[in-house]
Amino acid sequence: MSTLYFLVGSQDLYGDECLRQVAADAVEMGKFLEGKLEGKAKVKVMPTIINSEACIENIRAANCDEDCIGVMCWMHTFSPAKMWIKGLQELRKPLLHIHTQANEFLPYDKIDYDFMNLNQAAHGDREFGFIVARLRIPHHVVAGYYKHERVIREIKRFADVARALCASRHLKVAAFGNNMREVAVTDGDRVESQIRYGWECNYFALGGLVQLVSKVTDAEVDAKMAEYTSKYTMKTDRIESVREQARYEVALDKFLAYNHIGAFTDTFQDLYGLKQLPGIAAQNLMARGIGFGPEGDYKISALSAVLMEMSKGREGSTGFIEDYTYDLTEGKELELASHMLEVPPSFASTKPEIQVLPMGIGNKEDPARLVFDGTQGDGIQVTLVDMGTHFRIICADIELVKQPAPMPNLPVARIMYRHKPNFAIGTAAWCYAGGAHHSVVSTALCRADIELFARLTGTEFIAIGDDTTEADLSKLAAGNC
Ligand code: MN
């Protein structure tokens, strides 16, 4: 179970009675927040930190606990921050600084010197803020009374991002085939992405998967077909083509489980031994939280797995998508985003239909795929690019819309969206920022989630949205020079 360690700071200057109250308030606050986290994480209240040794011990405990996704700190009283230096230097978990108080209101008629000494986060949290800033530790600060909805919302956000970060650090990515020939933006520095995000991205021969495919039994295919027909509508009589995809998914399932892999890539240029490009097989895996990137795009495969983890427990859809084509009607510009086949069914607003249709590229058998119309609502589009000297995350606010008219001849699933603040600025900003044509779209996450992920991983972050202006375009353009 995901756990947040709660470290409350004080010192031994104020006497036992004060420290007893600090410990009791910490327990009460921890219990309250755990309830408000609604299963996202347990809150483990640690013994009050009153010296350097206690700090080191608590932070080591957090580091060594596999269930610990992050550390929350709060200074109930003043807590001289030199006692935090050595502990914080060892901290390996995401850090949240809750700048709050046990009391909401000042008791004007009763306040005395003891009360002021006991409840001095305004004093102690500034000292703590200084040392975290001085140590240059990326972290999140949430300020306000801990029972206020806004504060609770931010703590929940931290829990989601910290849990995703934890998953990121444990993520293994399998690359079947290499990067698509000649494509630049999908490539990247795998050593650096392992250092920064933890992604262990390794190459696997497709022949190994082909062997697994050949060993899948009819009974296993029958079971997978039963799953497909329970979730989706069969709109084809070419059942053998669908069974072929079911075989791929069963084989992929075994491969992923055996190698502890949470995300994978393939490429339509390297399908030697497979009759079809994995369509419904990849789509159904994405629906189960497995990251996917086509054309060898390991970055988007890993990022989609991480962002799907971040979105767990929230309303909305999250998954991989590719920018495809526009409706450039002036003032009403829209984008149609899709892929060859591999659009995650979490985006479906209509019950997905299983169809078997030809594919214009790839020279393979007609693949079975899920076709549906896309979901609607406010969302974000997120991508990660390798700038040579560093990674950059770009996050654009978008509005997913209903497709204006049916597209009876388009044989793939699709979503449609409107760019913000408008087409001209939104898409130009994306181009200036070097944004990829592969991204993760989410109606469950928002800019603040991605900004926090970028900050905690030390990644450059560029946001595009209603607050982006013409002047920002000039700045983005100048940033490339
Ligand atoms: Mn693509």
Strands 172-176 and 200-204: parallel
- 172-479 sits in which CATH class? alpha beta
- List % helix, strand, coil for the chain (3-state, nearest 5): 40, 25, 40
Between the CA of 344 and the centroid of ligand 1 the distance, in Å, is 14
Between the CA of 198 and the centroid of ligand 1 the distance, in Å, is 24
Between the CA of 294 and the centroid of ligand 1 the distance, in Å, is 6
In this prediction the pTM is 0.97
Same fold, 3-160 and 172-479: no
pLDDT band for position 104 (cuts 50, 70, 90): very high
Q: Across all residues in the chain, what is the average pLDDT? A: 97
Q: Give yes or no for residue 255 having a pLDDT over 90.
A: yes
The alpha carbon dihedral of 118, 122, 123, 128 has a sign of positive
Percent of the chain with pLDDT over 70: 100
Between the CA of 209 and the centroid of ligand 1 the distance, in Å, is 22
Between the CA of 278 and the centroid of ligand 1 the distance, in Å, is 14
Between the CA of 265 and the centroid of ligand 1 the distance, in Å, is 11
| Tokens standing for residue 132 | 């975290």
Q: What value does the mean pLDDT take over residues 223-229? A: 98
Q: Give yes or no for residue 100 having a pLDDT over 80.
A: yes
Q: Give yes or no for residue 259 having a pLDDT over 80.
A: yes
Q: What is the pLDDT of residue 7?
A: 98
CATH topology for 3-160? Rossmann fold (3.40.50)
Percent of the chain with pLDDT over 90: 97
Between the CA of 322 and the centroid of ligand 1 the distance, in Å, is 6
Between the CA of 12 and the centroid of ligand 1 the distance, in Å, is 60
Between the CA of 390 and the centroid of ligand 1 the distance, in Å, is 23
Contact 299, 193 (CB under 8 A): yes
pLDDT, tens digit, 9 for 90 and up, residues 434-474: 999 999 999 999 999 999 999 999 999 999 999 999 999 99
Q: Give yes or no for residue 481 having a pLDDT over 80.
A: no
Q: What is the pLDDT of residue 361?
A: 80
Q: What is the pLDDT of residue 55?
A: 98
Q: What is the pLDDT of residue 406?
A: 96
pLDDT band for position 192 (cuts 50, 70, 90): very high
Task: Write down the domain spans for the chain.
Answer: 3-160, 172-479
Task: Name which of 195, 200, 192 is nearest 170 in CA terms.
Answer: 200
Q: Give yes or no for residue 202 having a pLDDT over 90.
A: yes
Distance CA 392, CA 208 (A): 34
Between the CA of 175 and the centroid of ligand 1 the distance, in Å, is 15
Between the CA of 219 and the centroid of ligand 1 the distance, in Å, is 33
